[in-house]
């Protein structure tokens, strides 16, 4: 690749390699990330916005990836593509790229910035006459509001979204699942379970029984069932979730870490600290190498801190708690709010703060 030449053939070959179904994102070499970085730098320097958008679309699977979306160079590709689409006057592309940016920001824990991306995306989709796409972006703000502790506003968004959908629309599973999270937050575990089971049936209907949305919902259901004291049933749900994730050969490390965190929390409540710590270490290993997924990392550190506290390993407990608080500061989250949530949720028996 020369100083001012983009070797699109080389980039296409790299895209085809990285998109192989059995190649997990952890298999990407540092030199391969560097090829992407160099191509992006050259396109931006030349203000070749058509080329930037082309590069982004060629590697869209990385931007959309559950964990690869957090890799710095992949985030840069999407950010520059937003600028490029704006310069080219392609409103529909700007809306789509902003929606994907919102997803990546939310996964990492930058929820306020994600809201801004989703709101702008929704507005642009409306302008482009894409009503359902606008609704999808608007719906995603509910996840962010809930993560920021504004459950009332999240519930309002979800109700509005459901009012726009027919009763037989299987996409209803998405707002129903988030409503279940809010019900769990507020100690209504029976209602949370009913909503999750309804969402699970819909996901299985339109996504298939081995989809990642099914795997995620099984983990959520396992958590809610375990909090109601049904240990054996919960364990089966967690195992089903992990079995689905394993079929994707490492392409959903974040989801695997999320499920193992929930399973570890259940084991902690049953006093199996050794197995819980093993799962938390595995969850940490799965997520630490993919950009700044602080939102999951702080919860892993908090779960470890509570185990060490129960084991009277005071020094380790304090170190892990400090690490959790440091990650939250990186995200701009209130540690005072965390303390209140921790006391409240442990008292109510609704799991650790989310």
Query: Which string of DSSP letters, residue by residue, matches 49-82?
Result: HHHHHHHHHHTHHHHHSTTGGGSHHHHHHHHHHH
Residue 54: other Cβ atoms inside 10 A: 17
Helix (H) or strand (E) holding 294: helix 294-310
pLDDT at res. 283: 95
Condensed to tens digits (0 to 9), the pLDDT of residues 92-103 reads: 999 999 999 999
- pTM for the complete prediction? 0.88
Q: Which domains does the chain have, with CATH numbers?
A: 166-251 (1.25.40.10)
Q: Which has the closest alpha carbon to 218: 231, 199, 232?
A: 199
DSSP state of 297: H
CA angle 169, 102, 209 (to 5 degrees): 40
Rounded Cα distance, 184 and 272, in Å? 24
**Which residues of the chain carry a pLDDT beneath 70?**
1-4, 21-27, 291, 341-354
Q: What is the pLDDT of residue 151?
A: 95
Gap between the Cα atoms of 86 and 112, Å rounded: 22
Quick one: tokens of 246? 């394993």
State the DSSP string of 297-335: HHHHHHHHHHHHHHTT-HHHHHHHHHHHHHHHHHHT--H
> Can you list the pairs that 2-5 forms with residues at least 24 positions away whose Cβ atoms lie under 8 Å?
4/42, 4/46
The Cα 256–Cα 254 span in angstroms is: 5
Which residues neighbour 163 within 8 Å (Cβ) at sequence distance 6 or greater?
none
- Please tell me the distance from the alpha carbon of residue 302 to that of residue 297, in angstroms, as a whole number: 9
Residues 63, 210, 249: CA angle, nearest 5 degrees:
55
């Amino acid at each position: 690749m020369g100083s001012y030449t983009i070797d699109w053939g080389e980039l296409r070959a790299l895209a085809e390699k990285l998109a192989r179904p059995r190649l997990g994102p952890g298999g990407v070499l540092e030199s391969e990330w560097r090829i992407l970085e160099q191509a992006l730098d050259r396109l931006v320097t030349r203000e070749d916005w058509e080329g930037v958008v082309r590069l982004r679309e060629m590697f869209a699977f990385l931007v959309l990836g559950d964990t690869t979306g957090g890799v710095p160079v992949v985030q840069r590709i999407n950010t520059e593509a937003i600028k490029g689409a704006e310069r080219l006057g392609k409103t529909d592309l700007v809306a789509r790229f902003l929606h994907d940016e919102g997803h990546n920001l939310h996964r990492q824990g930058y929820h306020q910035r994600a809201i801004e991306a989703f709101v702008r995306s929704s507005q642009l989709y409306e302008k482009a006459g894409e009503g359902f796409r606008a609704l999808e972006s608007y719906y995603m703000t509910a996840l962010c509001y809930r993560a920021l502790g504004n459950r009332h506003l999240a519930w309002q968004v979800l109700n509005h979204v459901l009012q726009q959908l027919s009763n037989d629309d299987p996409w209803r599973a998405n707002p129903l699942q988030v409503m279940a999270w809010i019900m769990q937050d507020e100690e209504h575990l029976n209602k949370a379970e009913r909503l999750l089971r309804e969402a699970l049936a819909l996901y299985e209907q339109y996504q298939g029984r081995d989809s990642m949305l099914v795997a995620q919902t099984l983990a959520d259901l396992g958590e809610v069932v375990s909090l109601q004291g049904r240990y054996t049933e919960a364990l089966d749900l967690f195992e089903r979730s992990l079995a689905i994730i394993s079929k994707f050969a490492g392409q959903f490390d974040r989801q695997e870490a999320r499920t193992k965190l929930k399973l570890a929390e259940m084991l902690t409540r049953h006093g199996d600290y050794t197995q819980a710590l093993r799962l938390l270490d595995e969850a940490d290993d799965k997520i630490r190498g993919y950009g700044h997924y602080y939102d999951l990392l702080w919860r892993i550190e908090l779960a470890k801190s509570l185990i060490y506290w129960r084991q009277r390993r005071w020094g380790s407990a304090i170190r892990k708690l400090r690490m959790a608080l440091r990650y939250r500061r990186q995200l701009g989250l209130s540690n005072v709010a965390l303390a209140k949530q921790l006391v409240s949720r442990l008292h109510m028996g609704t799991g650790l703060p989310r």
